[in-house]
């Protein structure tokens, strides 16, 4: 009886794994399929002639309106994603740390300020997307990196502040006080004593910020309109219309979009678990 | 030290929200003219006469009432299913992958899977004699299709929270119950579930809040169609305000309504997670 239960359990786990991993598998193998294997029935579950053409571009993919093919076309979007993501990660971590320290140590603004900052994270982005579009148009910031960096910061900073408040609170107050006794100003205490001690927390916030900015879709869609500032997810969105999509190159672009985040996220998994269920 | 955050949020949230409320009382339509007039509440009245708006509310409600409970039950079941099996860590990490993938990429993957003529989903169903389904072309199946993607993408999130919660339950509590003769079901009902309940509630409300934001998946797969079957509320605002209409006034009125719902929900979450205590403000318990 117990043996049967164990077998049933493993079968259920296998079904779960297939359900949750198959779409990813499909995307990955399609990226390595030559164009004649994209549209077959029954579908090809293993590419018989794996190719890298989808990544580097080839004549045959152009038949399908495949301007998506080739790294050269993805490059501007990849560059935009990297510039925006890294800036958001750096700036976001710095201002989250400053605010979190002030709130954790000096209770600046009281519970209201802290709750207000965190609540912003939970509001639907579409709510601010329309007014931001109008305002950024007036400021001539539409289709610039700054439009994305500023709007992504609003998404990223609340979570950063939340995580870092709990991080700073775990560092004993006595350590700051010892620094004051030695004649340090509050800012010096923060910069030379508290920050180095909270390096893992800062790293986690930076990684999480990068991940969020990298995958953000709606604001990037509304606030940019060409290769000068559009990010990778929008690149994918542009090429998915039409009835015969160049699946191979699009999947290859999907891998480029997905890989950095998945790798980062798996590395930061521990912090993720902690951030979501902190102090429990 | 809080000045940078204050400056950022005042510029990026308070000002836009003020603008939004102001615009929601005006006939602000970029496709018509630059002149705007105060028109009172008529943008708000329009919502109730707009069948697409009502339909988008209905579909969002469907997502909330079908996808979220399914995710919750599945997430809890999976957390218990994999606890203590061989290769637990690898299985856990693998199951988390969908929630890490940018939804735009998920959209590409699922659009291929759902393909009418060549998609693996229809091929798989054909093994059981099911005739081909037009997953993204038929209103009923398109809605079901979006719900399935949502379940695929977000069950891992619930699973992660419950799993983390299970880890924090002291093992001796469970052992003690076992010694007292409680079977598997009783341990769950009387020991584990009560300890997990606050976490399950938080996961539930966070999912409800995120469900209101559903946008990317719809954009990538159905574009709201067929007809307006798979418009989520967020997607409809995007269409009214940006992609089709440029009707900033009406889009703002729709947004104000969504904002009110979101603010109510956020307050519920804060009560549930005892936000003040977590942040270290008062409340001895």
**Cα separation, A82 vs A84, whole angstroms:** 6
B81 and A16 within 8 Å at the Cβ level: the answer is yes
Task: Using CB atoms, pick whichever of A110, A125, A157 lies closest to residue B213.
Answer: A125
pLDDT tens column, A133-144: 888 988 898 889
- pLDDT at residue number A2: 81
B5 and A257 within 8 Å at the Cβ level: the answer is no
- Beta-bridged to residue B38, according to DSSP, are B26
- pLDDT at residue number B119: 87
Residues of B in contact with A26 (CB under 8 A): 109, 112-113, 120
pLDDT greater than 70 at residue A10: yes
Residues of A in contact with B82 (CB under 8 A): 13
The answer, for A96 touching chain B at a CB cutoff of 8 Å, is: yes
**Cα separation, B213 vs B60, whole angstroms:** 9
- Beta-bridged to residue B117, according to DSSP, are none
Phi, psi (deg, nearest 5) at residue B54: -65, -40
Which of A137-141, B146-150, B195-199 shows the lowest per-residue confidence on average (mean pLDDT)? B195-199
Residues of B in contact with A153 (CB under 8 A): 8, 12
First to last CA, chain A: 37
In Å, how far is B72's CA from the nearest CA of chain A?
15
Long-range interactions of B88-93: CB distance < 8 A, separation 24+: B91/A13, B91/A17, B92/B163, B93/A266, B93/A269
A124 and B100 within 8 Å at the Cβ level: the answer is no
| Residues of chain A numbered 37-76 and touching chain B (CB < 8 Å) | 38-43, 45
In Å, how far is A173's CA from the nearest CA of chain B?
14
The three-state DSSP-derived secondary structure of A45-64 is CCCCCCCCHHHHCCHHHHHH
Q: Mean per-residue pLDDT for B211-228?
A: 88
- A153 and A95 in contact (C-beta within 8 Å)? yes
Task: Using CB atoms, pick whichever of B12, B94, B98 lies closest to residue A154.
Answer: B12
Backbone conformation region of residue B129, classed left if phi is above 0, alpha if psi is from -120 to 50, else beta:
left
Q: What percentage of chain B carries pLDDT values higher than 70?
A: 98
Residues of A in contact with B219 (CB under 8 A): 217, 221, 237
The three-state DSSP-derived secondary structure of chain A is CHHHHHHHHHHHHHHHHHHHHHHHHHHHHHHCCCHHHCCCCCCCCCCCCCCCHHHHCCHHHHHHCCCCCCHHHHHHHHHHHHHHHHHHHHHHHHHHHHHHHHHHHHCCCHHHHHHHHHHHHCCCHHHHHHHHHHHHHHCCCCCCHHHHHHHHHHHHHHHHHHHHHHHHHCCCHHHHHHHHHCCCCHHHHHHHHHHHHCHHHHHHHHHHHHHHHHHCCHHHHHHCCCCCCCCHHHHHHHCCCCCCCCHHHHHHHHHHHHHHHHHHHHHCHHHHHHHHCCCC
The answer, for A81 touching chain B at a CB cutoff of 8 Å, is: no
- pLDDT at residue number A68: 47
Higher pLDDT among residues B29 and A234, named by residue: A234
Rounded to the nearest integer, the mean pLDDT of chain A is 83
pTM: 0.89
pLDDT greater than 50 at residue A5: yes
pLDDT tens column, B37-72: 788 788 898 888 899 999 999 999 999 999 999 999
The answer, for A242 touching chain B at a CB cutoff of 8 Å, is: no
pLDDT greater than 70 at residue B27: yes
**Cα separation, B61 vs B63, whole angstroms:** 5
Collapse the DSSP code of B38 into the 3-class scheme (helix H, G, I; strand E, B; otherwise coil) and give the result.
strand
Distances (CA, A) of B271 to A12, A116, A226, A273, B258: 36, 14, 43, 21, 20
pLDDT tens column, A138-172: 889 888 999 999 999 999 999 899 888 888 888 88
- Beta-bridged to residue B26, according to DSSP, are B38
Chain A residue with Cα closest to B164: A273
**Cα separation, B103 vs B121, whole angstroms:** 19
Confidence of residue B266 (pLDDT cuts 50, 70, 90): confident
pLDDT tens column, B63-118: 999 999 999 999 999 998 988 888 888 898 899 899 889 999 999 999 999 988 88
Token pair of B265 as six digits: 């929900």
ipTM of the complex: 0.87
B9 and A276 within 8 Å at the Cβ level: the answer is no
Does B278 sit behind a cis peptide bond, omega within 30 degrees of 0 on the bond before it? no
- B75 and B159 in contact (C-beta within 8 Å)? yes
Collapse the DSSP code of B151 into the 3-class scheme (helix H, G, I; strand E, B; otherwise coil) and give the result.
helix
- pLDDT at residue number A280: 35
Confidence of residue B285 (pLDDT cuts 50, 70, 90): very low
B96 and A265 within 8 Å at the Cβ level: the answer is yes
Task: Using CB atoms, pick whichever of A124, A169, A233 lies closest to residue B102.
Answer: A233
B8 and A150 within 8 Å at the Cβ level: the answer is yes
- pLDDT at residue number A71: 60
* Interface-testing mutation among B14, B15, B17, B101, with chain A (most A C-beta atoms within 10 A): B101
B255 and A126 within 8 Å at the Cβ level: the answer is yes
Q: Nearest Cα to A198, choosing from A226, A227, A151, A160?
A: A160
C-beta neighbour count of B40 within 10 angstroms: 10
Higher pLDDT among residues A71 and A210, named by residue: A210
Confidence of residue B165 (pLDDT cuts 50, 70, 90): confident
Rounded to the nearest integer, the mean pLDDT of chain B is 86
The answer, for A28 touching chain B at a CB cutoff of 8 Å, is: no
Confidence of residue B146 (pLDDT cuts 50, 70, 90): very high
A261 and B101 within 8 Å at the Cβ level: the answer is yes
Residues of A in contact with B152 (CB under 8 A): 19-20, 23
Annotate B263-283 with DSSP letters as a single string: HHHHHHHHHHTTHHHHHT-S-
The label of the residue with tokens 């997810």 reads A233
Q: Mean per-residue pLDDT for A228-251?
A: 82
- pLDDT at residue number A244: 66
């Amino acid at each position: 009886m117990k043996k049967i239960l164990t077998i049933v359990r493993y079968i259920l786990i296998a079904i779960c794994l297939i359900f949750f991993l198959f779409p990813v598998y499909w995307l990955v193998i399609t990226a390595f399929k030559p164009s004649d294997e994209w549209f077959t029935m029954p579908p090809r579950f293993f590419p018989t002639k794996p190719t890298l053409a989808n990544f580097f571009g080839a004549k045959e993919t152009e038949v399908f309106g495949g301007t998506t093919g080739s790294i050269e076309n993805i490059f501007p979007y990849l560059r935009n994603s990297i510039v925006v993501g890294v800036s958001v990660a750096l700036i976001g971590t710095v201002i989250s740390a400053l605010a979190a320290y002030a709130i954790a140590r000096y209770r600046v603004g009281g519970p209201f300020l802290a709750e207000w900052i965190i609540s912003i994270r939970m509001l639907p982005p579409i709510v601010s997307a329309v007014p931001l579009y109008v305002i950024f148009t007036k400021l001539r910031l539409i289709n610039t990196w700054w439009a994305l960096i500023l709007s992504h910061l609003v998404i990223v900073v609340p979570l950063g502040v939340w995580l870092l408040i709990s991080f700073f609170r775990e560092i004993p107050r006595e350590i700051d006080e010892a620094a004051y006794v030695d004649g340090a100003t509050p800012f010096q205490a923060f910069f030379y004593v508290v920050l180095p001690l909270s390096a893992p927390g800062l790293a986690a916030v930076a990684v999480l910020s990068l991940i969020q900015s990298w995958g953000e879709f709606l604001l990037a869609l509304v606030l940019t309109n060409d290769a000068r500032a559009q990010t990778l997810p929008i690149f994918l969105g542009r090429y998915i219309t039409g009835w015969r999509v160049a699946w191979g190159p699009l999947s290859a672009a999907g891998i480029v979009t997905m890989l950095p985040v998945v790798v980062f996220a798996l590395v930061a998994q521990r912090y993720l678990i902690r951030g979501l269920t902190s102090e429990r | 030290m809080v000045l940078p955050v204050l400056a950022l949020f005042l510029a990026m949230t308070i000002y836009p929200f003020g603008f939004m409320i102001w615009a929601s009382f005006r006939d602000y339509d970029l496709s018509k003219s630059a002149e705007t007039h105060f028109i009172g509440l008529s943008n708000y009245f329009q919502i109730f006469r707009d069948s697409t708006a009502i339909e988008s509310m209905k579909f969002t409600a469907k997502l909330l009432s079908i996808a979220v409970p399914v995710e919750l039950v599945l997430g809890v079941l999976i957390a218990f299913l994999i606890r203590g099996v061989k290769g637990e860590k690898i299985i856990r990490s693998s199951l988390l992958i969908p929630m890490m993938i940018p939804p735009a990429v998920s959209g590409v993957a699922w659009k291929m899977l759902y393909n009418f003529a060549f998609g693996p989903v229809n091929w798989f169903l054909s093994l059981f004699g099911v005739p081909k389904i037009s997953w993204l072309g038929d209103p009923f199946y398109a809605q079901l299709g979006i719900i399935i993607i949502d379940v695929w993408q977000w069950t891992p999130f619930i699973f992660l929270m419950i799993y983390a919660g299970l880890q924090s339950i002291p093992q001796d509590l469970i052992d003690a119950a076992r010694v007292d003769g409680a079977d598997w079901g009783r341990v769950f009902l009387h020991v584990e579930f009560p300890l997990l309940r606050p976490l399950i509630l938080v996961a539930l409300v966070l999912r409800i809040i995120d469900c209101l934001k559903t946008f990317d998946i719809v954009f990538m797969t159905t574009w709201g169609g067929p007809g307006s079957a798979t418009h989520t509320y967020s997607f409809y605002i995007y269409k009214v305000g940006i992609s089709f209409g440029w009707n900033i006034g009406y889009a703002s009125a729709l947004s104000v309504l969504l904002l009110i719902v979101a603010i109510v929900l956020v307050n519920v979450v804060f009560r549930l997670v005892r936000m003040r205590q977590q942040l270290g403000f008062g409340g001895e318990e």
